[in-house]
Structure 1
Amino acid sequence: MPLNPRRMVVVGLDFGTTYSGFSFALISEPYKINSFFEYPNSSNLYPKTPTVSYYKKVPGHEDQWRLNSWGFTARSEYTRDMAKLTKEQRRRKHSGAQNDNAPLPEVGRYITKFKLYLANERMARVPLPSLPAGLTNERVITDYLREMGALILKTLRGQYRNLDLTNDLIQWCITVPSIWDNVAKSVMKDCMVRAGLVSGTDDSHLSIVLEPEAAFFHCYQHLHESAITVNDKILIADIGGGTSDIVVEQVVAIGQSSYQVKEVTFSSGGLCGSIYVDQSFIKFMIQSIPCLDGALDQQPSLYASLLKEWDEAKASFGDLTRSNRSTDISLHYELLNMMKPYASMDNDVARALNDGLYEIRYDQMKSIFDPIINQNLTLISDKLREVQGVTVIAVVGGLAKSEYLIQCIKRRFSSEVRHIIVPGNPVSAISLGAVMSALNPDTIISRVSKKTYGVECVEEFKYGVDREDHLQVINNLRRCRNRFHIYVRKGDVVNVDQCISKTYYPARSGQTTMDVTLFSSENTNPRYTDEPGVKMEGSFTIDISGDMTLDEKRIVKESLYFGRSSLELVAEPVNFFLGSQGPNQLHLPIAEGFV
């Protein structure tokens, strides 16, 4: 969809499970796309900040919380507060002042991985802690987006001092995993509105882009260097913090500075990103260090300390030819103190107490990585089996920093494709690609529908075909209620900006309103809207009482538009005029890709 001429800047926002970041560009300078690296309290330049928030109670209100800090600042302030609490508890214990009535240093709630609250419940595999009373998933996401948005606006105003930038001059492109359902995407849109970043009445401010599709835009410059040709099929593996998304695009045209592609099959994926490797690491450490499970309960900040050390080790592990190389994890002094009683029972613990490092052998590192790596290899393999003739695999996302992952992918698939590439700065690929997708709206010419879409209507009852419980007599005619009138089937190729229209009539004489309801199904040929697997996506009611002359011969055209900033269902009169002006369209936030 072409950009609104009022917009001056495009922002690509990668709201990730473990880290989030943004990129931006002036619409007038589309080739100057910038990633942001200077997040508050970051110890080095990095294009993302942790997706974490630190809340503290509102004084005097037990169930009210205020956001204290976010990102790197939240991590450091939570660690600081935990250290103060531990120090005071130890002082009281050693001084015999356990009954001291003075309040202990306050420690709030440190919330992580909250993006996964939006994952489809049937896919959730990581146990997520329940939020305290007074906080909701939507509130936590909204608060984080509000703070990120404030930083973005401050950055843009500093970068473009000659422009009087406000939110309504920004085109926001937020990325979402391909495995998210419409409900999750709708919540994401609502959170952007509540955060004050976009207007609730103007959908054109916000585009929702599928993460693997955004990755493809970023990868193109590297693919171009690989001398891709028309008809080449490119598999993008976006292996991020929480999700792994796989999509295949086929090149249909190449120009000097532009190209066009079509989606070959609908995207797929799973919950097998880097946090699941982290989870495997923590499980290994708990099994290896006898006191660790209890230590994490007593001092939750040790968890963040361990993961910080693990992040560096995770990225550097990977030389498949050096199986004699071990990995050292630096341990916090508080944990080392707790380990002392176990030194005589465990040689690994004794060695760790000697130098403060816990040694993980190469085979143990493999056992930590392999379950998640193998899931990703299976996703790629399944897609290659589904789509014949893929010539390039491009790997992006947070886990693409892992040498081990890349080596495993190359070893497994180098004989099946011409090139396997990891573009420069794979961590920023999603936010950079989101900006590019907005600046190049005509690149993707068609997509594949992941679901069957249609509307509910009343049709002629067919004996021997329709179920008796759907029989309804209207005006002495036998009708079938709750029929699923299909617009597009799962697996159908749909051109971007394609419109599919169908016409409908009032079901009965004297009808003054008409319900317009959009349904989806995982099945290719659903017959009824109340059968298993069918889901209502949204609805609205139109007033058709403005002109009753034609009565049952009044025609309403219902049009479904694909590939705009959202999936749009529009109802309009053909041979009469509507009554009172009310809503006559439905917008589903599944932008830039169908689900």
Structure 2
Amino acid sequence: MSIPRAVLDAMCKAHLGEDISAIIASSPYNGKMEVRYNKMKIDAELIKGLFDEASQKIIQLISDVFTDVVNREISVILLVCGFSECKIIQDSIRAKFPGKRVVVPEDAELAVLKGAVLFGHKPENIVSRVVKYTYGIEVTKEFNSEIHDLARRTVGKDRDECKHLFGVYVKTGSVVELGEEITVRRCTRHEFQRGVTFRFFQSTKECPKYTDEEGCTKLGSLTIEIPNPSKERRSFRVSFNFGHTELKVAAFDVKSGAKCETVLDLL
């Protein structure tokens, strides 16, 4: 590489008392670097070594993704952003995954930006998504000593219950189509109940048991009022609409037709 020899010598003498050649000769890089006139020559293996840590971390990240999607065949690795144009990084990935096709698009450093603009104008271009988290709703069920923790047992009027259970509806790693809707049924717990609040959660675990355990995060809640409360238990339909960057949820009172809905940000 071209570099002014006079500037290097002046800086080295000012801070270390010797010129650049003397400093290199007494360093671990002796024989791997040299400065001649206004050019610095560096051994190719030394330059490659500067990318070892970054390459290994990128390869590990890709390997983790392959592990998470073990049930789906991935044949292409798409490299984007400026670092992807580095030949050393490309060669490291190709060497580690010889059975995969590694693609570096034109203007790779702009690929993510272009994709964001295209998605903003035509979100329907994304036909499906791989769900990053497990999504569900907080539920209360009759206490079962065989599956529920004893410390979570609460005494109710008619039965012992276990609260804060994670009702899973979509597991992490699942593929959901654009606009795919999942509907479940829920019922009131008490006579003459005037309303129901549904609390929505996400979890990093595939099968979380409770909504307050590690890895669980509350996304939001939805409350629907019950017109003309009655003694019998009222039935509700709760729907989840996936596939977008938002999760659309709605609750319907089957008897009255009352509806309440909200949108939860998944980004």
Fold shared by both chains (TM-score > 0.5)? yes
Match of 1:409 in 2: 93
CA distance in 1, matches of 2:6, 2:194: 71
Give deviations 1:133-163, integer Å, cap 9, x for gaps.
xxxxxxxxxxxxxxxxxxxxxxxxxxxxxxx
Tell me which residue corresponds to 2:21.
Answer: 347
Scaled by the length of structure 2, the TM-score of the pair is 0.78
Aligned partners of 1:343 and 1:353 also within 8 Å: no
Cα displacement string for residues 221-275 of structure 1 (whole angstroms, at most 9, x for unaligned residues) = xxxxxxxxxxxxxxxxxxxxxxxxxxxxxxxxxxxxxxxxxxxxxxxxxxxxxxx
Identical counterparts, % of pairs: 25
* Matched residue SS, 1:553: coil
- Shift in CA distance, 384/526, structure 1 to aligned 2, threshold 3 Å: closer
8 Å CA contact retained: 1:352, 1:358: yes
Distance, in Å, in 2 between the alignment partners of 1:425 and 1:567 is 33
Paired residues of 2:9 and 2:19 also in contact (CA < 8 A): no
Change (3 A) 1:510 1:359: farther
State the alpha-carbon separation in 1 of the partners of residues 135 and 114 from structure 2. Answer: 31
Q: Tell me what 2:45 maps to.
A: 363
AA matched with 1:416: G
Counterpart in the other structure of 1:488: 170
What is the DSSP-based 3-state SS (H/G/I as helix, E as strand, rest coil) of the residue aligned with 1:564? coil
Alignment of 1:490-505 (within 5 A): 490-505=172-187
In 2, Cα distance between the equivalents of 1:361 and 1:589?
47
| Structure 1 position 432, deviation (Å) | 1.7
SS at match of 2:52: helix
TM-score by length of 1: 0.38
Which is higher, the Rg of structure 1 or of structure 2? 2
Shift of 1:348: 5.9
Secondary structure of the equivalent of 1:399?
helix
Q: Please show how residues 167-186 of structure 1 align to structure 2 within 5 Å.
A: none
How far did residue 410 of structure 1 move? 3.6
Q: Distance in 1 between matches of 2:60 and 2:252?
A: 47
RMSD: 3.5
1:547 corresponds in structure 2 to: 228
Q: How does 1:77-226 map to 2 (within 5 A)?
A: none
Letter in 2 for 1:525: C
1:376 paired residue number: 58
- The answer (yes or no) to whether the contact 1:507–1:552 under 8 Å persists in 2 is no
- For residue 82 of structure 2, what is the aligned residue in structure 1? 398
SS of the counterpart of 1:430?
helix
User: What's the CA shift string for 1:320-339, capped at 9, x where partnerless?
Assistant: xxxxxxx4567996995475
**Aligned pair in 2 of structure 1 residues 335, 567: CA closer, same or farther (>3 Å)?**
farther
1:466 matched to 2:148: yes
Displacement, 1:471?
A: 2.1
- Per-residue CA shift, 1:51-88, capped at 9, x if unaligned? xxxxxxxxxxxxxxxxxxxxxxxxxxxxxxxxxxxxxx
Partner deviation per Cα, 1:330-380 (whole Å, 9 max, x = no partner): 799699547524142763658999967765432332221111112223333
Q: Shift in Å at residue 525 of structure 1?
A: 2.2
Q: How does 1:24-35 map to 2 (within 5 A)?
A: none
Letter in 2 for 1:347: S
Cα contact 2:172–2:205 (8 A) shared by 1: yes
Paired AA for residue 239 in structure 2: S
> Residue deviations 1:5-25, cap 9 Å, x none?
xxxxxxxxxxxxxxxxxxxxx
CA distance in 2, matches of 1:353, 1:404: 24
Q: 1:452 to 1:384 in 2, by over 3 A?
A: closer
Q: Name 1:566's counterpart in structure 2.
A: 246
Using a 3 Å threshold, how does the CA distance of structure 1 residues 331 and 400 change in structure 2: closer, same or farther? farther
Distance in 2 of aligned mates of 1:446 and 1:493: 7
Offset of 1:423 from its aligned partner? 1.4
Distance in 1, matches of 2:41 and 2:131, equals 49
Aligned-partner Cα distance in 1 for 2:6–2:140: 67
Instruction: Give the counterpart of 2:215 among 533, 538, 559.
Output: 533
Q: Give the distance between the partners of 2:66 and 2:165, measured in 1 at CA.
A: 37
Higher share of residues assigned strand: 2
Query: Who is 1:451 aligned against?
Result: 133
In the alignment, which of 517, 524, 544 is matched to residue 206 of structure 2? 524
Following the alignment from structure 1 to structure 2, what is the Cα–Cα distance between the partners of residues 507 and 331? 82
Aligned residues: 257
One-letter identity of the residue aligned with 2:265: L
Residue identity matched to 2:172: K
Letter in 2 for 1:470: R
Once the two structures are superposed, the pairs formed by residues 9-24 of structure 1 within 5 Å of their partners are none
Measured in 2, the distance between the counterparts of 1:523 and 1:560 equals 19
The alpha-carbon distance between structure 1 residues 528 and 363, as it changes in their structure 2 partners (threshold 3 A), is same
Deviations 1:182-227 (A, max 9, x none): xxxxxxxxxxxxxxxxxxxxxxxxxxxxxxxxxxxxxxxxxxxxxx
| CA displacement 1:289-325 (0-9 Å, x = unmatched) | xxxxxxxxxxxxxxxxxxxxxxxxxxxxxxxxxxxxx
**TM-fit CA distance, 1:438:** 4.5
Q: Give 1:227's aligned residue.
A: none
